[in-house]
Structure 1
Amino acid sequence: MSTGNALVIAAALSIAISQPAPAGERLTGTWLTEDGSTHVTFKSCGDMDCGQIVWLREPIDPETGKAWQDKLNPDASLRQQPLVGLTMITGLMENSPNTWTGTLYNPLDGKSYTGHFLMLSAAKLELKGCTLAGLICQTETWVRVK
């Protein structure tokens, strides 16, 4: 392949990736977290959408030699449930085109946060998780898994 062809292909790919998401697009599909550790699939869960952990880069807890469990869940009866299959995002509602709000459960600390999602493009999603009525927030970008 010539350098010219490679540049044209690279330019076409960057344009396709940077295109804004069409208004009204649903938050569905599988997304890779910013640190590359987790795949989350968004799907319909009754009247609202939710997000479920479907893959972990490191599926085995080195402490136990078994699949990671939700060991920090505030509900002791749920601490044995595996992380793969865990619904970590609930109550997703679209606020305006390409923006959603819901509740994020973080199994790394056992706490829930208000989550805001903004679809930047068909391939990029910005997640902002907040606590203390929005005073403390953390933002990261997720990419769609093909």
Structure 2
Amino acid sequence: MRGWAGIAALALAMPAAANTPAQLPAGLWLSPHNNVAVRTGPCGAHLCGWVVWASPSARADAKDGGVDRLLGTELLEDYAADGSGAWTGTVFVPDMGRRFASRIDLPRPDTLRIRGCMWGGMLCRTQSWSRIEQVPHG
């Protein structure tokens, strides 16, 4: 019986990683190709992200995908903390004009990792966006 008491005491002393609240990935983020900036923040009980800057080529690609006005478009939709330190929601890909199941997390305070999947998770793509202090110009 002493063995079970020791295991129980050890279990109680360990931090509960699964119950750790996810750090809110709010802020201003620049895409890996430096052509889109997104501001993330609360939207109701969720987290969302909107395009606040886009290069001319990104705007043209979005237009080809059916998005006439890229600025203001919500790319990160209705993300909720999933209990593992990450957030799950939907990512909108303007140049494809499609939405995909997605997961985001902060592997470092200055990096937003976005993973989007299609076909039930059989095909996924991950990007790492960089935290920036101000919206790019140009």
Instruction: Report the TM-score range of the alignment, normalised by the length of the smaller protein.
Output: 0.7 to 0.9
Q: Could you say which residue in structure 2 is the equivalent of 1:137? A: 124
Find the counterpart in structure 2 of residue 109 from structure 1: 96
Change (3 A) 1:58 1:46: same
Could you tell me which of 26, 29, 33 is aligned with 1:35? 33
Residue 56 of structure 2: SS of its match in structure 1? coil
> Normalization by structure 1: what TM-score?
0.69
Map 1:1-146 onto structure 2 (within 5 A).
24-58=22-56, 70=63, 72-73=65-66, 79-80=67-68, 82-146=69-133
2:28 partner amino acid? T
| Structure 1: gaps spanning 5 or more residues | 1-21, 63-67, 74-78
- Structure 1: distance between partners of 2:39 and 2:48: 8
Aligned 8 A contact 1:25 1:97 in 2: no
Alignment check: 8 A CA contact 1:51 1:88 kept: yes
How far apart, in 2, do the equivalents of 1:130 and 1:60 lie? 21
> Over residues 68-113 of structure 1, what are the superposed CA-to-partner deviations in whole Å (9 max), with x where a residue is unaligned?
865534xxxxx54x10011111110011253111101111010110
Shift of 1:23: 5.9
Larger radius of gyration: 2
TM-score, normalising length from structure 2? 0.73
Structure 2 stretches of 5 or more lacking a match?
Answer: 1-19, 134-138
State, as a whole percentage, how many aligned pairs show the same letter.
23
Contact preservation (8 Å) 1:118, 1:127: yes
Residues of 2 paired with 1:28 and 1:60: CA distance?
A: 23
RMSD: 2.3
Q: Secondary structure at the match of 2:121?
A: coil
